[in-house]
Amino acid sequence: MPAISLVVCLYREGDLLARLLQHAAGCYDDLVVVHDGAEDATAGRSKEAEKQPAINYSDLKTDTPLPGGYRKPDSLPRVGGIHELVKRHGGRYYEGPRAFQQEPHWPFAWWQARHDWILRLDADEFPSDELKQWLQAFRHGPEPAPDVSGYTCIWPLWSGKRATPGKWPDGRIFLINRHRVRFFGMVEQVPVPDGRFTPLELVLHHQPKRKSHGYRNLIFRKQAYHWRHVIALSLLGKPTDLPCWRWSNTDWPPGWREIVERPVRTGFKRLLFTPYAMLRIFLRHRLYKLIYGAPGGGLNHFLICVEVARLKRKRMLVQPAK
């Protein structure tokens, strides 16, 4: 019977984590929570991201000391804090370098998990009743076939009050076998399967405190600018310069490589053509109220490409002449 480790990487979302753990009761056998930075960091702490160790965590043995920047707090957890919440649910709590994102922490968290099947959820998510029943049955069923790297589900958009109906967006990777996927820790990167992801028509609720989609998230949310800047900085190097899991290839996957090699051309191409693909999806799923948002994905990629081009030009200008 396959055992499951629930892995959550978060930043000051204790109330949402409490909701997730309540809804996910009975769905996992092990709990690992990684906080992005110190939970009780002072207000004057630097806003700059801390250096992440470029480690392939899949190569580390279980008894290896924690890498630099990660720690397991020794002091008693503060009452009402995230550490205390995790301990109350029988989990293990770690604090990592402040990265302003969760993806760089995934390889570390997967390394700390006790089981190979990883339930990868965000703090602002929780399983539907049907998905919860499926997870409980999965834990008591036979081991999946060796070519199954994981499972995907439906991940409805959230307006702040209600979720989009139907079976879209789909393809949210929520359960993986850590020995059958590869990954490097960068925003908007997802685990790459050795075999296949099995799609399920089950819902994983994503209900943050804000609207989960729309132009406000792209244009007015500071975190979005930070994420695009981090992606651009990462693309100036190699995937192996980042925290990795079973990833040894120094070349970028095709979608990222296109941005690295031709950022301006790729940016305009995605700005112009991605909206048509999104529009067809919205019409097929009868999500007519979302049609206005069709250019959103293309705009996001365009802004990433602009930032890559800006940083590449800046690097060329400051590079000393030979």
The answer on 232 and 202 residing in a single domain is: no
| Domain end call among 181, 206, 231 | 206
The answer on 32 and 172 residing in a single domain is: yes
The answer on 312 and 191 residing in a single domain is: no
Confidence of residue 209 (pLDDT cuts 50, 70, 90): confident
pLDDT digits 0-9 by tens, 252-295: 999 999 999 999 999 999 999 999 999 998 898 888 888 888 88
The answer on 227 and 151 residing in a single domain is: no
3-state secondary structure of 133: helix
How many CB atoms lie under 10 A from the CB of residue 175?
Answer: 27
Q: Crossing angle of helices 296-318/254-261, nearest 10°?
A: 50
Checking if the pLDDT of 220 tops 80, the result is: no
Q: Check which CATH number belongs to the domain holding 169 and give it.
A: 3.90.550.10
> Domain total for the chain?
2
The answer on 286 and 239 residing in a single domain is: yes
- Nearest Cα residue to 9 out of 111, 88, 77: 111
pLDDT digits 0-9 by tens, 161-205: 888 888 888 999 999 999 999 999 999 999 999 999 999 999 999
Looking at residue 236, what is its pLDDT?
94
Cα separation, 55 vs 50, in Å, equals: 15
The answer on 221 and 202 residing in a single domain is: no
Q: Running DSSP on this structure, what letter comes out for residue 7?
A: E
| Domain end call among 172, 187, 206 | 206
Looking at residue 32, what is its pLDDT?
98
Cα separation, 290 vs 5, in Å, equals: 35
The answer on 243 and 190 residing in a single domain is: no
Amino acid at 103: E
Chain centroid, CA 260 distance in Å: 21
Lowest mean pLDDT among 123-132, 215-224, 304-313: 215-224
Average pLDDT (308-316) is 90
pLDDT digits 0-9 by tens, 46-99: 566 677 888 999 999 988 999 888 999 877 788 889 999 999 999 999 999 998
pLDDT digits 0-9 by tens, 238-255: 999 999 999 999 999 999
The answer on 274 and 193 residing in a single domain is: no
Looking at residue 47, what is its pLDDT?
60
| Domain end call among 206, 230, 252 | 206
How many CB atoms lie under 10 A from the CB of residue 279?
Answer: 15
pLDDT digits 0-9 by tens, 98-153: 988 899 999 999 999 999 999 999 999 999 999 999 999 999 999 999 999 999 99
Cα separation, 285 vs 278, in Å, equals: 11
Expressed as residue numbers, the domain containing 147 is: 4-206
Lowest mean pLDDT among 12-21, 155-164, 268-277: 155-164
The answer on 269 and 131 residing in a single domain is: no
pTM of the model: 0.91
Checking if the pLDDT of 321 tops 80, the result is: no
The answer on 224 and 92 residing in a single domain is: no
The answer on 237 and 105 residing in a single domain is: no
The pair of structure tokens assigned to 248 is 């040894």
The answer on 178 and 43 residing in a single domain is: yes
Cα separation, 57 vs 103, in Å, equals: 13
Looking at residue 52, what is its pLDDT?
81
